[in-house]
Structures are given as C-alpha cells and as structure tokens.
Amino acid sequence: MLAFLCLILHLLTAYASVSNGKHIILLAGQSNMSGRGGVRNNTWDGVVPLQSQPHPSILRLTAGLTWVKARDPLHKDIDVNVTCGVGPGMSFANRVLEIHPQLGPIGLVPCAIGGPLGTKITQWKKGGFLYNQLLTRATAARTGGGSILAVLWFQGESDTVNEVDANMYKRRLANLFNNLRADLGSPLLPIVQVAIASGQGSFVETVRKAQLETKLRKVSCVDAKGLPLLADNLHLSTPAQVRLGGMLADALFRLRKNKKRTYGPINLLLSSISSPRFPHFMANNGLKLTFFFVFIISYEYWVNHVNVVDSSAASDHLVKDVFILAGQSNMAGRGGVIDGYWDGLIPPEVQTRPGKILRLGGDLSWEDATEPLHSDIDVNKTCGVGPGMAFANAVWRGDPRRDRAVGLVPCAIGGSGIQEWSRGGRLYNGLVRRAAVAVEGGGEIRAVLWFQGERDTVNRSDAESYKEKLQRLFMDLRADLKSPLLPVIQVALASGEGAYVEMVREAQHGIELPNVITVDAKGLELQPDGLHLSTHAQVRVGEMLAHAILQSNCFL
C-alpha cells in the first residue's frame, strides 16, 4: 500500500512538473534571429511595437541561465558583440498566446549569434561552440519543469558569400537538424526555419532553394522574401520582424496541434485516493489499480504533450465563404507604408480571428489571416494594411452563419494595368489557379473584390478603353470560375498615377453588368505619396465592401 502511494505520488509530481512547466522555444541562427530591427548606426531606436510588448506569460532565459520577464532586445546578453534590436521572438510568443491563451508560460531561449561578421552554418556543427552552447541552454531551460516545444531557426546570410558553402548548405542544414533532435531527445521536435530575405553574397537564391526544399518530417519553412529591410539591405526592419514572428507562430501550429487539457482522469485519480474507502478497496485490488493508474497518467501525458499531429489539413477542410482579392497596390495594401517601410500598426478592425478568418498563402495552403495579407503575393514591394482584413471582420460580424470561415485569396499585384489582367495572362491565370485551389477542401467563391485602375490613368488610350476591358475581365472570370452571376464588388479610384483619373472613374461607375457593385473611395485619406490609401482609409474601404455585399441579394 505504501509503495503504491509513493509510486503514484512520484508519477503525479513528474506529470505536474511537465504539465505546469514552461513551453520552451529555442531561438537560433544569426543576426536576423538575434534581431536588428530598429538598429541604425549601431544604435537601437528603442521602439517596441504593440505585437512585441512584454507579457507576464512570456519569459526569457538570460545568459546567466535564469528566467526573467522577456522583452526586446531578447539577445542583448547573448549576441554581445553587436547592437541588438527587435527580432521575431516576442511577436512570435505574443501570437502564440493570442491563438492559445490557455497555453501557459512560454520560455524563450535566445541562442542566435550574428556578431560583426555573421555566423556560417559550419559554425553550428555538432561539437562546436555555438552548438554546445545551445544544448547547454536547452538543458538549463528544462530544469525545474517544462518541455521544448520547437526550434526556430533563421540563418544562412553568411553562407551566400561562397559558392561551395551555398551548394553544401542543404546537406549541412539537414545534418544540424537531425543532430539537434537526437541530442535533445526528441526525434520529431518541430523546427520552423526562415528562408532568407537577403544575404551577404551573390548566392542568395542557392541558399533559399536549399531552405525551401528541406525534406524532413515536422520541419516547416516560412519565407521572408519581400519583407522590408533596413538601409543595409541585409537586416529585417522592425515591422518585418513583427510580421515574421506571426508567420513563425502560424507555421508552428500547422505542425503541431495542442489539445485542451481537461485532466479528467487525473482528477478522478486524486478523488479516488482521497476517498475513505480507498484503503479497503486497495487491499483487495492493489495490483490492478497500480496498472490502471499508471495507464491513466501515461495517457494524459501522451494526449497533452506527445500527441503531435499535422494540423495544416484542418483549415484546408473547413467550409469557407471564399473571397478573391484582386487588382493593384491599393488592394494589396500600402496602409502604413512610408518610404518603403511598414509601420506595423494594426487597427482593431483588422484583428486576427484564428479559425474564423483564413488566408490562402503563396504556397497554396490555408492559414490564419493576418496583415499584410499580400506579403508573399505582391513580393516586389513592401505591403501594409489593405482592405481585406477589415472586410473579413465586418463580414464575419454581419453574417449569422458563424459556422463558416471567411477565406481570403490574395491575388493583387501593385502597379499592374488592366491589360495585364486580360484572359490568358500571368496575373489572370494565377488568380484562376488560386481560386480553384481555394474551394478544393470545401467552400464557395462568394465574390471577387476588385480595386485597380490607377496605372490606367497615365495614358489616354488606356483610360478610354478601360470600361470595355474591365467588363470583359469580369465576364471572363465568371465564365472560368463557372459562376455566371458571381458578385463583383469593385472600388472606384481615389487617386491615380496620371491625369485621367476621372475618365477611369467614369468607366468604373458605368459598368453595365448584373451583380457588379461599386463603392467609391474618392475623398478617403491618402498617404503622403498622394496615391495610396492610408491605414484608416483602408479600414473604411474594407467596411464599405462588406456592407455592399451583406446588403445585396447575392450573398443569400
């Protein structure tokens, strides 16, 4: 009897230490993981965006191996030979808690080293200083309770200098990941890596290809290409780091599904032990109960900590109301973008709604939608806030069918004229292909949202032929999407690149097709460039688009 109680107490203590411990995240790589957001001339500007603010449930393991409340710069006492700024770690952790507020404390373990010259992947090989330091810190992080949830890896810029290093990168990266998993005792430890946005040499695409083609189980890759860089064209800006942190969090939850912890069997166990009849019952059934309770504890641990499944298919098979977002830069979103940098500000009207508002990414997989929606679509420009998220939030609030997710399909490309959207062209074919993928797992295309025309204000002949080309585009889309009366909600221009704005606006207002609704952006606030809508104006356009479709018969 005493031996049994000791066994149960030991198992419960071990279980509680893991269940109530930290969810540990290892941050490794070089300078862009360490964080240079906001650093100019070796001085950090001290600006911490809302998405990277400290949180009581986000901790950081210091260089002295003690836990403290986490705040940027996370790597200030790790990557000590340079000035650190904002990295992706804090926005990642905040995003994780946004998705799963019940998850409990998150323990960030900074291990990235950029240094003045950066670190190559050979410096991370097994047995080296950086590798051993990571293992030491990981071991210390688990002391006192907790489990390693994932490794976040962002490195490779230094391996773009030498062609041999670039060609060897894929093999060296796979060896590193395999060695880490073995030495951390977790053969399927989730790893989310970042495909580099820049490099120190001319072999950037070779390294990117190696990263994007890594074929290991439970290894995911998010792409930083197109995110805004600092003036050095090497390091990500603060808004880019914020965006990257959210991408990393979303990718992790596509790799790993975390179930709610009910602890029902554990509570049953505790109530049984405390029962006054337990000693008598135990005397006659001791061996059976021992095996039974060991099974309960093992099962609970497996359900909450070991059961790792690929959850990317969950969003793919939700029933969705699908909306196609097409056009040029004001649909792609430039809200908050000044001089090529996005300020990272996200109004409450464009909030993320996990599982409710989804986005079809550039890789044709569904994920929780966040701004900038077009970051991996309109990749040659800096994207900011567009009308899509405000639209989706307004539709979600106004549509009583809350069992259906809103699925956004970004397709807009900045600077594109109406001729570039003609049937058979690259942009048109890309839209049709993405639309077909969007409905594969269940759902229906509810409307096309169209905001374009600024480019066609430059040349008089383009402006004069705009109405005919626009009507032809809408008819072709309806035919190829097999929906003859597919609703199209278009935006009449607020600005243009040339002198023929009013001519294009007149064409937009004069469209003579059923189920085509026009909302007018004229008079809404513009950015200093006099061309792109501000964040506030984009929110207003999104709400106008939502109001138009919710009030029409075409959404019944």
Crossing angle of helices 535-551/388-398, nearest 10°? Answer: 40
- In which band, very low, low, confident or very high, does the pLDDT at 314 lie, cut at 50, 70 and 90? very low
Q: Residue 102: its pLDDT value, please?
A: 77
Distance (Å) of CA 397 to CA 342, 400, 552 = 27, 8, 16
- Mean pLDDT across 155-163: 94
Q: Residue 303: its pLDDT value, please?
A: 43
- Mean pLDDT across 483-499: 94
Regarding whether 324 and 230 lie in a shared domain, the answer is: no
Structure tokens at 229: 């860089």
For residues 40 and 45, give the distance between their C-alpha atoms in angstroms, rounded to a whole number.
8
Regarding whether 348 and 233 lie in a shared domain, the answer is: no
Give the percent of the chain with pLDDT over 90: 65
Contacts with 178 (C-beta within 8 Å, 6 or more apart), sequence order: 216
Q: What is the pLDDT of residues 6-50, one digit of tens each?
A: 544 444 444 444 445 789 999 999 999 999 999 999 999 999 999
Q: Residue 551: its pLDDT value, please?
A: 84
pTM > 0.75: no
Q: Residue 266: its pLDDT value, please?
A: 45
- In which band, very low, low, confident or very high, does the pLDDT at 407 lie, cut at 50, 70 and 90? very high
Q: What rounded mean pLDDT belongs to the chain?
A: 85
- In which band, very low, low, confident or very high, does the pLDDT at 115 lie, cut at 50, 70 and 90? confident
- Mean pLDDT across 288-308: 49
Choose one of 215, 240, 257: the last residue of a domain.
257
- Mean pLDDT across 362-382: 86
- Mean pLDDT across 299-327: 59
Task: For residue 266, tell me if it sits in a domain.
Answer: no
Regarding whether 173 and 73 lie in a shared domain, the answer is: yes
Active site residue ranges: 329, 529, 532
Regarding whether 169 and 42 lie in a shared domain, the answer is: yes
- Between 259 and 62, residue with greater pLDDT: 62
Regarding whether 337 and 250 lie in a shared domain, the answer is: no
Q: What is the pLDDT of residues 226-278, one digit of tens each?
A: 999 999 999 999 999 999 999 999 899 887 653 333 334 444 444 444 445 54
- In which band, very low, low, confident or very high, does the pLDDT at 441 lie, cut at 50, 70 and 90? confident
Give the percent of the chain with pLDDT over 70: 83
Task: For residue 9, tell me if it sits in a domain.
Answer: no
What is the domain range of residue 347? Answer: 320-551
Is 302's pLDDT higher than 80? no
Regarding whether 337 and 246 lie in a shared domain, the answer is: no
Task: For residue 263, tell me if it sits in a domain.
Answer: no
DSSP designation for 519: E
Structure tokens at 132: 């051993």
Regarding whether 489 and 392 lie in a shared domain, the answer is: yes
Q: Residue 238: its pLDDT value, please?
A: 95
- In which band, very low, low, confident or very high, does the pLDDT at 401 lie, cut at 50, 70 and 90? low
Least confident interval from 228-232, 309-313, 479-483: 309-313
- Mean pLDDT across 282-308: 50
Structure tokens at 528: 């200093």
Q: What is the pLDDT of residues 316-359, one digit of tens each?
A: 556 789 999 999 999 999 999 888 778 778 888 998 888 889 99
Task: For residue 426, tell me if it sits in a domain.
Answer: yes
Regarding whether 509 and 367 lie in a shared domain, the answer is: yes
DSSP designation for 381: S
Please count the residues of the chain. 556
Instruction: Give the total number of structural domains in the chain.
Output: 2
DSSP designation for 151: E
Q: What is the pLDDT of residues 181-215, one digit of tens each?
A: 989 988 889 999 999 999 989 999 999 999 998 88
DSSP designation for 259: P
Query: Do 323 and 373 touch, CB atoms closer than 8 A?
Result: no
Peptide bond between residue 73 and the one before it cis (omega within 30 degrees of 0): yes
Q: What is the pLDDT of residues 512-556, one digit of tens each?
A: 899 999 999 999 999 999 999 999 999 999 999 999 998 876 554
Task: For residue 264, tell me if it sits in a domain.
Answer: no
Structure tokens at 354: 């996990």
Integer-rounded Cα Rg, in Å, for the chain is 26
Task: For residue 525, tell me if it sits in a domain.
Answer: yes
Query: Do 381 and 328 touch, CB atoms closer than 8 A?
Result: no
Structure tokens at 452: 């374009």
Choose one of 257, 274, 301: the last residue of a domain.
257
Task: For residue 280, tell me if it sits in a domain.
Answer: no
Choose one of 257, 278, 301: the last residue of a domain.
257
Q: Residue 310: its pLDDT value, please?
A: 39
Least confident interval from 12-26, 135-149, 217-231: 12-26
Task: For residue 244, tell me if it sits in a domain.
Answer: yes
- Between 346 and 284, residue with greater pLDDT: 346
- Mean pLDDT across 296-300: 50
Regarding whether 326 and 244 lie in a shared domain, the answer is: no
Regarding whether 488 and 398 lie in a shared domain, the answer is: yes
Query: Do 109 and 25 touch, CB atoms closer than 8 A?
Result: yes
Long-range contacts of 507-511 (CB under 8 A, 24+ apart): 507/463, 507/466, 507/467, 507/470, 508/453, 508/466, 508/467, 508/470, 510/467, 511/467, 511/470, 511/471, 511/474
- Mean pLDDT across 291-297: 53
Query: Do 501 and 455 touch, CB atoms closer than 8 A?
Result: no
Among 224, 496, 230, smallest CA distance to 340 is for 230
* H or E segment and range at residue 204: helix 204-212
- Mean pLDDT across 440-449: 89
Q: What is the CATH number of the domain that holds 547?
A: 3.40.50.1110
